[in-house]
Amino acid sequence: MKFLNIAVVLACSLFVFSCKDDPVASPTTGTIKGIVRDAITGKPIYNVDVQTTPPSESVSTDSLGQYTITAKEGNYSITASKTDYLAGTVSVRVTNGSTTTANISLSSISSKNNPPTTPVAVSPLDGDTSAGKAPQIQWSCTDPDSDPIKYTVYFDTANPPIQQVADSLTTQTFKLTGLKDSTFYYWKIVAKDRFGATSASPVFSFRTAGTYVPAVVDGLVAYLSFDETVNDAQGILEVKGNPDIQYVTGVKNKTNGAIFMGSNANSYLRYTSSTKLDLPATFTLCAWVKPERMPNSYTQLVGRWSLAGGSNNATYSLTLAANGKIAADTHDGTTTTQIITDKGITSGIWSHVVMTRAVDGLINVYINGESVGSIQSVPPQKSTLDLTIGRYSDTMGEMLYGAIDNVRIYNKALSQQEINVLWASGM
């Protein structure tokens, strides 16, 4: 029994001794907590990579933008990074056993992104008139942020071009094949960076080399070229001294010059009445026009027309209507026939517009070689009205504000082929 008591005493002594030698351990790490938010919207950002320097551990933010890092005591830089954001960094001091807050704001790269520069034609140069039938178009474009750029190419015989021939190009060249001789082509480049920012070039043009089809002269009763070297101003009234009428030089895609009419109320051309302008039942009116703005109602391009109507008055008219639509009218002294096209022309761009009346009485309207409308009509009557360009023969209607060129009047209805020749040649 004595030995048992001694054993119990020894056991208790050992227990007490061991308790005195095992104090509570001090913390050896601290905690960093924070939220990563969008610098613009303030919204939390999910799945942001968060790391420390010096290295401790790497974590990602949760759906609330929160993160937690355990690190030893010391000074740290906390860096948050995510694709499409600029990295953000804050500095903190970690104390063992304590929690340090480190919130970080990230700026979206797209919010600081700059779009690519406007593409510039390198080859063929804009307005080139001798390109080959299989040219390689080339352009230049850069990105201020050095982002990769992809290009979309539009190419067409229509202006502006609507046919997309290439997309997501990473080069600044595109090979063309199968082009026709002596034909105008139009192209445009749209550049896009990796954030979707875009810039579009203006419409470039070139004409392929070749020999023109002979000029369409059969049936031509009046041709107003408005070339600087041609004195075709004889017979024009109310023009001398008008500062808003001037010749325009360097006309792209056109032969020689054109005439520009300003916003002045008297800015129009009036040619003295002539019996040769009394057209037969079949005839053609055509002109190149580049309006700077569209009329609210009607602006006559070329014709002999008075809104009063009646005998020896209104007879025929090719007119620019609201929204760039084209109107064509005939009047026989009693009845007026009019067609207004659904398709129109664009301000600031040269367009070739034509009105024909065929032997079957059908009026056809063409824009850039394309038939865009027709209607059965009455024949034009003889008239004492002067021929006017840029407004009606009386004081009604609006004045043309823009340029006009190569006005032609025929005493026959031109064929589709003849119209295409005039359009393709810029005449």
CB 100 within 8 A of CB 93: yes
CATH architecture of the domain with residue range 29-111 = Sandwich (2.60)
Q: What is the pLDDT of residues 385-401, one digit of tens each?
A: 988 898 888 767 788 88
What percent of the chain is helix, strand and coil (3-state, nearest 5)?
A: 10, 45, 50
Q: Of 185-189, 252-256, 266-270, 391-395, which one has max mean pLDDT?
A: 185-189
pTM: 0.55
Least confident of 179-188, 319-328, 353-362: 179-188
Nearest residue to 263 via CA among 405, 398, 396: 398
Rounded mean pLDDT of the chain? 84
If one compares 240 and 334, the residue with the highest pLDDT of the two is: 334
**Where, residue-wise, is CATH 2.60.120.200 in the chain?**
220-425
Percent of the chain surpassing pLDDT 90: 51
Least confident of 42-46, 114-118, 309-313: 309-313
CATH of domain 220-425: 2.60.120.200
Instruction: Sort strands 99-101 and 29-38 into parallel, antiparallel or unpaired.
Output: parallel
**Where, residue-wise, is CATH 2.60.40.10 in the chain?**
120-208
Q: 3-state class of 111 per DSSP?
A: helix
Q: Is the pLDDT of residue 103 over 80?
A: yes
- In the chain, what is the greatest distance between 2 CA atoms, to the nearest angstrom? 154
Percent of the chain surpassing pLDDT 70: 84
| Segments of 27-163 assigned E as strands | 29-38, 49-53, 59-60, 66-72, 74-81, 85-86, 88-94, 99-101, 104-108, 120-123, 128-131, 136-140, 149-156
Is 120-208 a CATH 3.90.180.10 domain?
A: no
**Where, residue-wise, is CATH 2.60.40.1120 in the chain?**
29-111
If one compares 67 and 232, the residue with the highest pLDDT of the two is: 67
CB 276 within 8 A of CB 292: no
Please confirm whether the linkage preceding 160 is cis (ω < 30° from 0).
yes
